[in-house]
């Protein structure tokens, strides 16, 4: 493989452009999906908090802690789903705290408590429990009897990290493979295209002044390579005409000089 050949350089340029395009596309998809998954997790946690407020805290039996715990466990199953849920009143009384998840990924008791129990708007931020990163959303809720609650819902980033890791592996192994296949395919295509050029070169090497009527072949490929032999054949036509003109001129001069030379002799 000649690295200085036109087909190698064109194919290499094509592979480099494809690699850059895949890299830009992969980075865009990766970070775009990551942002979407974070936003989806945040929206899901906030929706769960609002549903707890409307469906449970508005119930007249809310003062019964067993009722609150049973309803939340039945509706959301925090332990099975790996969720963190904590419900507190504005006076600091904790009405509910979810149990440790079945996979023991974190301990809800180690999640830092919210500093402000009278938030005006929902707020989501990263927290740590047992060195496990969590997204925790603190959502204020006011019932019809003007009782203020703070509902904290959270979840680990495990599913997001697993999805992003799988996507990164696809790009890590699939990207180079696509570039390699594109390079091999592009090189084969360039080799086929250059066969026409090599055929023109071989035929051009055979044309000499002894057979000036020879012409280059036209392959009817429908591309720019059709124009090259046509242009060269027209040039050869002009050269043949000029050669014939020179031959006729030489013959005429020779004929005109023959009579004076004969007289001089």
Task: Give the closest residue to 124 by CA, choosing from 149, 152, 98, 159.
Answer: 152
Report how far residue 69's alpha carbon sits from residue 57's, in angstroms, rounded to the nearest whole number. Answer: 11
Task: Give the closest residue to 171 by CA, choosing from 19, 16, 17.
Answer: 19
Kindly state the helix (H) or strand (E) to which residue 141 belongs, with its residue range: strand 132-142
Query: Quick one: tokens of 174?
Result: 């699939």
User: pLDDT, tens digit, for every residue of 222-238?
Assistant: 666 677 777 887 888 88
User: What value does the mean pLDDT take over residues 41-61?
Assistant: 91
User: pLDDT, tens digit, for every residue of 19-36?
Assistant: 999 999 999 999 999 999
pLDDT of 199 reads: 78
Kindly state the helix (H) or strand (E) to which residue 136 belongs, with its residue range: strand 132-142
pLDDT of 204 reads: 78
pLDDT of 238 reads: 83
pLDDT of 104 reads: 85
pTM assigned to the model: 0.71
Q: Strand ranges (DSSP E) for 6-131?
A: 83-89, 94-97, 123-129
User: What value does the mean pLDDT take over residues 206-234?
Assistant: 73
128 has a pLDDT exceeding 80: yes
| Matching residue, tokens 């395009």 | 21
User: At a CB cut-off of 8 Å and minimum separation 6, what does 153 contact?
Assistant: 45, 46, 48, 49, 52, 83, 84, 85, 136, 137, 139
Q: How many CA atoms lie within 13 A of 178 on its CB side?
A: 15
What is the layout of strands, in order, in the sheet containing 94-97? Answer: 94-97, 83-89, 148-156, 132-142, 123-129
CB 34 within 8 A of CB 168: no
210 has a pLDDT exceeding 80: no
Indicate left, alpha or beta for 136 from its phi (over 0: left) and psi (-120 to 50: alpha): beta
| Matching residue, tokens 């000649």 | 2
Query: In this structure, how many other beta carbons lie within 10 angstroms of the beta carbon of residue 154?
Result: 27
Indicate left, alpha or beta for 13 from its phi (over 0: left) and psi (-120 to 50: alpha): alpha
């Amino acid at each position: 493989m000649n690295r200085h050949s036109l087909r190698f350089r064109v194919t290499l340029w094509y592979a480099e452009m494809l690699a850059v395009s895949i890299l830009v596309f992969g980075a865009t998809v990766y970070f775009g999906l990551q942002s979407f998954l974070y936003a989806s997790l945040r929206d899901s946690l906030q929706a769960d908090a609002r549903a707890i407020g409307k469906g449970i805290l508005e119930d007249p039996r809310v003062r019964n802690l067993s009722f609150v715990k049973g309803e939340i466990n039945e509706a959301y199953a925090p332990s099975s789903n790996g969720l963190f849920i904590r419900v507190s009143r504005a006076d600091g009384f904790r009405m509910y705290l979810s149990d440790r998840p079945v996979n023991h990924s974190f301990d809800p008791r180690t999640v830092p408590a919210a500093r402000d129990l009278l938030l005006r708007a929902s707020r989501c931020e990263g927290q740590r429990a047992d060195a496990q990163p969590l997204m925790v959303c603190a959502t204020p809720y006011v019932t019809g009897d003007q009782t203020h609650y703070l509902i904290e819902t959270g979840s680990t980033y495990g599913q997001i990290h697993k999805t992003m890791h799988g996507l990164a592996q696809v790009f890590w192994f699939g990207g180079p493979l696509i570039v390699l296949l594109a390079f091999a395919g592009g090189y084969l295509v360039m080799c086929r295209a250059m066969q026409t050029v090599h055929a023109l070169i071989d035929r051009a090497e055979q044309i000499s002044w002894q057979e000036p009527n020879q012409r280059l072949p036209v392959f009817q490929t429908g591309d720019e390579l059709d124009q090259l032999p046509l242009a060269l054949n027209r040039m050869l036509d002009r050269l043949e005409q000029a050669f014939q003109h020179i031959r006729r001129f030489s013959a005429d001069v020779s004929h005109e000089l023959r009579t004076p030379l004969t007289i001089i002799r």
